[in-house]
Amino acid sequence: MSAVQPANTYQPKGMLIDGKWVGSASGAHFTVENPARRKPIVDVPRAAAADVDAAVDAAERAFASWKKVVPRERGKLLLKIAEAIQARSEELARTIALETGNALRTQARGEANMTADIFRYFGGLASELKGETVPLGEHVLSYTRREPIGVVGAIIPWNAPVMLGALKIAPALCAGNVMVMKTAEDAPMGVLMMADICQEFLPAGVLNVLTGYGPEAGAAIANHPKIRKLSFTGSTEVGKIIMRAAAERIVPVSLELGGKSPSIVYPDADEDWAVDGIINAMRFTRQSQSCTAGSRLFLHEDIFDSFLKKLEKKTTALKIGDPLDEASDIGTIINNKQYTKVCKYVQDGLDRSDAKLVFGGLPPKTGPLSEGYFTIPTVFADRSNDWRLAREEIFGPVLVAIRWSDEAEAIRMANDSHYGLAAYVWTHDIGKGLRAAHAIESGWVQVNQGGGQTPGMSYGGYKQSGLGREFSLEGMLDSFTQRKSVTVNLAV
């Protein structure tokens, strides 16, 4: 099935249906490409409706007994999976770096470790699937149960595929559901490896993982009559398709979608720690392919030029190169389509006489970086919040710096977006920082830090950035359980 792969990376065995590694029913497959070389890595099955049917049937059969397993026992299995992932974390990290182009040292290792941590976190929460008693009177016993929903259809993207997959698998299974997951076209290998590890511990059919295209296998999941819950991470555009499909069958849906997150820097934060934080928040070392990327930088006018100078110095010192090379800080964009899209945004910025290129620009056309989808961190300034580069999610390393003088105006601009996923505020004045945090319309605001999510925090979007929360106990309870009230008359 595969070409020569770099050492210590995972070799897919097919897709996982009912505990077995299988090809697609049609025999069709597609090729996964190494974005750093523009060369094929491996072929994986191309699932379609028949494969989704087989996976859903297997999941439904498994549900009958999985839902009856005592939650703490399910939790223990997740804890074993966590340790098994941890034991193979380097192989997982290298696999992620190979297929996504995310640099091993700065990104992929963190993702592999976080994946183990997600299983660990949810494994420990199994006994929190508690109900309540309701005081309806001395002669009535009324209580609630948190019951699983059934077969969950999960569709995930390629940007942090394994972590985002774990965020659905671990809570859904902990709560007693079963799952049919579709990996992203460009990054199925790491998720298949995670499924392979899960499968050592789980009964057949509890977790099924398919590889295939969105409009084909993804649509078959979204529209499947036996799927009782849809959980999607990806673009807002496809999120709307998923939600429409869910509306047809009245199934609950969780959506983690796009963002155009603001960073507001106050004049007292013209310092190195804030510059480091902005680089982190912008996810430059993940080529900014992150829905939480702080891609609109609102700088106070007093520090506008000096802050950008510091930002240029630190950002241009980052090393762009082979994702598997320990020396690389920044890897590649995922595929040609995204690369072309990012380049078009950069070109658009360059073509605007009223926008200033602060640093960066189009990627090199020759030399080692031209062998892959490498882009370079780019910052434009001097335009306001109203142009295309400040409104659309670029999903690439293109940052727009916007000047502000009045705090209310900065917050108004920050909120002037149909997205509301993340936001960042930078100031020593904690009162100001928190006032801004409360005024910003986002599901997640960080003050004086630009890091990623941590298990335990509820993560999700306002406005068109999504519905529902992940990463937390509440997220698990709200997204993957349904409440049943049982009322008993004690008077008879």
CA distance 35 to 57: 35
Question: Which residue has tokens 């912008």?
Answer: 282
- Applying CB under 6 A, does 184 fall inside the site for ligand ADP? yes
Sorted by sequence, the CB contacts under 8 Å of residue 406 that are 6+ apart come out as: none
CB 356 to ligand ADP: min, Å: 29
Q: How many residues bind ligand ADP (CB under 6 A)?
A: 17
Hey, which residues does 381 pair with through a beta bridge? 356
Contact characters 213-242, ligand ADP, x per CB under 6 A: xxx--xx--x-----------xx--x--x-
Q: Of 120-159, which residues contact ligand ADP (CB under 6 A)? A: 155-158
CB 178 to ligand ADP: min, Å: 19
Q: Which of the residues 99, 185, 291, 393 is marked catalytic? A: 291
* Catalytic status, residue 407: no
- Given a contact cutoff of 8 angstroms between Cβ atoms, the answer to whether 201 and 80 are in contact is yes
CB closer to ligand ADP, 148 vs 397: 397
Stretch that binds ligand ADP, among 19-27, 73-81, 181-189, 476-484 (CB under 6 A): 181-189
Stretch that binds ligand ADP, among 54-62, 212-220, 266-274, 433-441 (CB under 6 A): 212-220
| N-terminal to C-terminal alpha carbon distance within the chain | 67
CB 214 to ligand ADP: min, Å: 2
Return the SS3 of 336: helix
CB closer to ligand ADP, 41 vs 241: 241
For the chain, helix, strand, coil in percent to 5 are: 40, 20, 35
The 207-210 sheet, strands edge to edge: 20-22, 15-17, 207-210, 178-182, 151-155, 229-233, 253-256, 466-467
| Segment (H or E) for 404 | strand 398-404
CB closer to ligand ADP, 223 vs 315: 223
Q: Which of the residues 33, 99, 185, 256 is marked catalytic? A: 256
CB 371 to ligand ADP: min, Å: 23
Hey, which residues does 31 pair with through a beta bridge? 43
Q: Which of 26, 480, 8, 476 is nearest to 210 (CA)?
A: 26
CA distance 479 to 118: 16
Instruction: Characterise 18 by phi-psi region: left (phi > 0), alpha (psi -120 to 50), beta (else).
Output: left
Token pair in block for residue 468: 């529902």
Return the SS3 of 209: strand
CB closer to ligand ADP, 155 vs 162: 155
Among 99, 111, 117, 185, binds ligand ADP (CB under 6 A): 185
Task: Find the length of the chain.
Answer: 492
* Catalytic status, residue 256: yes
CB closer to ligand ADP, 311 vs 334: 334
Handedness of CA 377, 382, 385, 389 (dihedral sign): negative
- Applying CB under 6 A, does 251 fall inside the site for ligand ADP? no
CB closer to ligand ADP, 75 vs 331: 331
Contact characters 322-361, ligand ADP, x per CB under 6 A: ----------------------------------------
Return the SS3 of 441: coil
CB 395 to ligand ADP: min, Å: 6
CB 378 to ligand ADP: min, Å: 20
Q: How many CB atoms lie within 10 A of CB 132?
A: 11
Report the catalytic residues: 256, 291
List interacting residues with ligand ADP (CB under 6 A): 155-158, 182, 184-185, 213-215, 218-219, 222, 234-235, 238, 241
